[in-house]
């Protein structure tokens, strides 16, 4: 699915994100909440960030960089970044 | 230092079964694991025949992080190693605190490499290949993954020696333990089974095309053979010093008493009688036994005319015409990088259960196979000592001799 150039609402971004992140990182969908810490919830190590970039590109058609992730602490930060990049 | 080297655990995942019990039954019943993979024809293969094996799902056993770097060789090898460690009574707590090495045989990661390159070509961005690819692509994929998963802290390298990889991995671990450098080593062989890995081998025209009767297609030593059949999976053999095994109260399955090796220094794909006999003689001399003490020979014989004939001549020359011989490749097909390890597992299962598995499809001998004692029906017989040959492209030869511990 490639949603670049498609205007998504934040609710749609949240729903899509929940689905692909829970599938990729094998975590409970219900743990993906706006105020939760993204790194801790998904149990990410340095290698996992590469796979995070891959699934974001596959699902939203945008490629994030290491610099982008420096600003992301919570899922809400992530949703806002995606919204801005789309 | 000269330590005795024993085997305390074995595991298997092959086209004959997903565990030791299933494989033992298949061996006893002379059941073939060969079938047809239609995708190979569409891909341009001359032969669609292959050992039939599924890739197991490791999700119940391993985290996502552990699994993303595992392609087929590592997945197969994890499965056989889990079984072998269980049989040896070795858990992760023990392995983490007691230095244990790993030398695994593997010689390709074709599927993982091709999928990676396809992805890179499509995306034109290497980041989008993903984090697991590098660990699936490298030929040491089994070692990298299993040493991490099982917390192995001893020697750690992959042995790549074509179709003798699995056998040399056991031989090399045997030498390290014998001379006191290691007390315990996980060895074995893995072989991927997919359309990418065997295409170039098929292209040489050496695979059987007996599509109308797949289970009769692999016929080592038989006059009417028309080529080998590729196969795969993984086999694990846990080697340990005798003292270490006794100290921890392990069940000792058998002892390795000889490892012979040689290189032909000749043609890249054709076998060579001198190279094979040197390997056999070296193993016998190291074992300090006479040929008469060998109760069973698990032949390398792959079902190609030149390979089988050369081995039959080598066996006759070094071991005579009386020793029972069978090639389990008649049932499994050629398990290539894995074969030297799987055939040790198959032979140990025969040793444990007092039978010789048949060389199925051996109906009519040729000039050379007529002169050795090939067993084509399951034979009840005690095996105290057996010998296993493995010969690979590039002229690499390996012979192991294994005996019961009295």
Gap between the Cα atoms of A77 and A72, Å rounded:
5
Predicted local confidence at residue A28, as pLDDT: 97
Q: What is the pLDDT of residue A5?
A: 52
Q: DSSP string of B163-212?
A: BTHHHHHHHHHHHHHHTTS-SEEEEEEEE--STTTSHHHHTTT-B---TT
**For chain A, which residues lie within 8 Å of any Cβ of chain B, measuring from their own Cβ?**
24-26, 45, 47-48, 50-51, 53-54, 57, 63
- Cβ proximity of B161 and B398 under 8 Å: yes
- Tens digits of per-residue pLDDT, B39-67? 999 999 999 999 999 999 999 999 999 99
ipTM of the complex: 0.89
Claim: this prediction has a pTM higher than 0.90: yes
B168 assigned to active site = no
The H or E element containing residue A79 is helix A75-85
Cβ B68–A26 below 8 Å, yes or no? no
- CA angle at B372 for the pair B370 and B378, rounded to the nearest 5°: 100
SS3 labels along A45-64: CHHHHHHHHHHHHHHHCCCC
A73 burial via Cβ count (<10 Å: 0-12, 13-18, 19+): middle
Structural domain harbouring A32: 10-85
Q: Is A57 in contact with B132 (Cβ distance < 8 A)?
A: no
Domain B1-406 has CATH 3.40.47.10: yes
* Residue A4 falls inside a structural domain: no
Domains in chain A, number: 1
Average pLDDT in the A21-47 region? Answer: 96
Residues 288-327 of B with CB under 8 A from A: none
Verify whether the Cβ–Cβ distance B131 to A48 is below 8 Å. Answer: yes
| pLDDT confidence bin for B20, thresholds 50/70/90 | very high
Cβ under 8 Å to A: B residues 206-225: none
| Phi/psi at B386 (5° precision) | -130, 165
Asked if A26's CB is within 8 angstroms of B127's CB, the reply is: no
Per the residue annotation, which of B15, B140, B168, B334 is the catalytic one? Answer: B334
Spatial neighbors of B270 by CB under 8 A, at least 6 apart, are: B306
CATH number of residue A46's parent domain: 1.10.1200.10
Residue A5 lies in a domain: no
Segment A24-48 mean pLDDT: 96
């Amino acid at each position: 699915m490639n949603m670049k150039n498609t205007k998504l609402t934040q609710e749609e971004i949240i729903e899509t994100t929940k689905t692909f992140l829970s599938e990729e990182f094998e975590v409970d969908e219900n743990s993906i909440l706006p105020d939760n810490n993204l790194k801790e919830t998904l149990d990410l190590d340095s290698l996992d960030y590469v796979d995070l970039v891959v699934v974001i590109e596959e699902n939203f058609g945008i490629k994030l960089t290491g610099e982008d992730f420096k600003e992301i602490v919570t899922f809400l930060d992530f949703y806002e970044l995606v919204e801005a990049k789309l | 230092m000269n330590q005795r080297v024993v085997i305390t655990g074995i595991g298997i995942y092959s086209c004959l079964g997903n565990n030791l019990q299933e494989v033992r039954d298949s061996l006893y019943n002379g059941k073939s694991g060969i079938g047809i993979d239609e995708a190979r024809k569409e891909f341009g293969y001359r032969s669609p025949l292959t050992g039939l094996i599924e890739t197991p799902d490791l999700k119940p056993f391993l985290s996502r992080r552990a699994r993303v770097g595992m392609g087929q060789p590592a997945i197969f090898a994890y499965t056989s190693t889990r079984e072998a460690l269980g049989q040896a009574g070795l858990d992760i707590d023990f392995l983490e605190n007691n230095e244990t090495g790993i030398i695994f045989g593997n010689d390709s990661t074709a599927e993982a490499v091709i999928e990676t390159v396809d992805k890179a070509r499509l995306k034109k961005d290497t980041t989008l290949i993903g984090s697991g690819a590098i660990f699936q692509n490298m030929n040491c994929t089994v070692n990298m993954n299993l040493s991490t998963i099982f917390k192995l802290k001893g020697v750690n390298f992959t042995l790549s020696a074509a179709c003798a990889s699995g056998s040399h991995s056991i031989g090399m671990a045997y030498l390290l333990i014998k001379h006191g450098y290691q007390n315990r080593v996980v060895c074995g062989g893995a072989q991927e089974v997919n359309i990418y890995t065997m295409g170039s081998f098929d292209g040489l025209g050496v695979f059987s095309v007996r599509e109308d009767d797949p289970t009769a297609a692999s016929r080592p030593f038989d006059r009417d053979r028309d080529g080998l059949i590729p196969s795969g999976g993984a086999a694990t053999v846990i080697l340990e010093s005798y003292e270490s095994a006794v100290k921890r109260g392990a069940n000792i399955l058998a002892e390795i008493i000889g490892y012979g090796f040689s290189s032909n220094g000749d043609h890249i794909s054709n076998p060579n009688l001198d190279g094979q006999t040197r390997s056999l003689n070296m193993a016998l001399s190291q074992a300090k036994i006479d040929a008469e003490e060998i109760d069973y020979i698990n032949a390398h014989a792959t079902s190609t005319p030149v390979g089988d004939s050369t081995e039959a001549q080598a066996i006759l020359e070094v071991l005579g015409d009386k020793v029972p011989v069978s090639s389990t490749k008649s049932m499994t097909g050629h398990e290539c990088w894995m074969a030297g390890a799987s055939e040790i597992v198959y032979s140990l299962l025969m040793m444990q259960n007092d039978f010789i598995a048949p060389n199925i499809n051996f109906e009519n001998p040729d000039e050379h196979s007529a002169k050795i004692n090939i067993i084509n029906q399951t034979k009840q017989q005690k095996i105290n000592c057996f010998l296993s040959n493995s010969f690979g492209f590039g002229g690499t030869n390996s012979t192991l001799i294994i005996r019961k511990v009295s």
